[in-house]
Amino acid sequence: MTTIPLDATPLPVAIGAGGPVEYIDELLKRPALVARAIEADSELSARTRTYVKVLIACTATFGAALGFYRGGAQILFAAVKLPLVTLVTLAVVAPLLHLLNRALERPANMAREVSTLVAALARGALVLAAETPLIWAAHALGAEYHRLILLTVFSCGIAGAVSFWFLWGVLSATRRSRWAVALVVLTTVGIVGAQASWLFRPYLVRPRATGVVFMHPLEGSFSEALGDSLDSARGRYRSSTANCCSMRSGESP
């Protein structure tokens, strides 16, 4: 049997060092290098542009996978809404990170901070894109609505943790007040991100919903909905849901 050494036919390498492909490759495999490049202001605008595109593409992919639960226009709606959620969160948190750095006598540069946050969110978005097969597998197994909601929250939680780990690496370049900045940013991202995702719901669309809407009117909150989903996944339904289901079962036995 003939064996071919791995270096005989090297994998194709992106032409032109420092191009978008290399930026993405670095973000995926060598995040510490990306953190150092951002610290050194190395090709900041080109990197940021690339990572914004990655962020939009990956979150749109994950959103579209969620939208397939209902199908039709919901695929497009979810693919548009999930990038919007991340961009709204980015827009809200970037000034906060900058002013926290200024207030706590840490190195502050708005362009660098925006680039850091975009890179962190893009790394999380890459994780989301990698988790998309989980959603497809759940669709294939006919997972029930509430279980799919919990799987989505779990997937986004993992992506968020990876994002935060990258951000922590960049914040740790200056040790002064890094815990305070990280705690405030993490809390704010958590609250704002949850609210933005709640605002732009639905992504999956409840099975009993008759039509598909781009956004619901203001009602309830993310934490209430998560609690309801946990209860429903355990078979404990709220009274309104129970009434609905018992009526439906009565109507069509």
Partner 1 sequence: MSRPKVLADPRLFWALGGPLLLGALPGLRFGLGPTLRLGPSFVAALLATAAVMGPALYLIWGLTGARGSLGQVGNAFMDALAAAGRVHVGFAPAVLMMSATVAYRDHAILFALAGYGGGLLLGASRLWRALRPGASGRHAAAVLVPWLAAAILMGGRLVIQFVMPVVTGGKVG
The residue from 32, 42, 72, 102 that contacts partner 1 (CB under 8 A) is: 102
Rule CB under 8 A: say whether 182 interacts with partner 1.
no
Q: How far is CA 250 from the centre of its chain?
A: 41
The residue from 84, 87, 104, 233 that contacts partner 1 (CB under 8 A) is: 104
In angstroms, the CA 122 to CA 48 distance is 10
How near is the Cβ of 175 to partner 1 at its closest, in Å? 13
- Asked if residue 5 has a cis previous peptide bond (ω within 30° of 0), the answer is no
How near is the Cβ of 116 to partner 1 at its closest, in Å? 15
Rule CB under 8 A: say whether 226 interacts with partner 1.
no
User: Binding segment for partner 1 among 22-30, 99-107, 126-134, 228-236 (CB under 8 A)?
Assistant: 99-107
Rule CB under 8 A: say whether 180 interacts with partner 1.
yes
Q: What are phi and psi of 8, to 5 degrees?
A: -65, -45
Residues 6+ apart with CB under 8 A from 23: 34, 46, 47, 50, 51
> How open is the CA angle 103-195-158, to the nearest 5 degrees?
85
In angstroms, the CA 62 to CA 79 distance is 7
The residue from 71, 72, 95, 157 that contacts partner 1 (CB under 8 A) is: 95
List residues binding partner 1 (CB under 8 A).
Answer: 88, 91-93, 95-100, 102-105, 177, 180, 184, 188, 191-192, 195-196, 199, 218-221
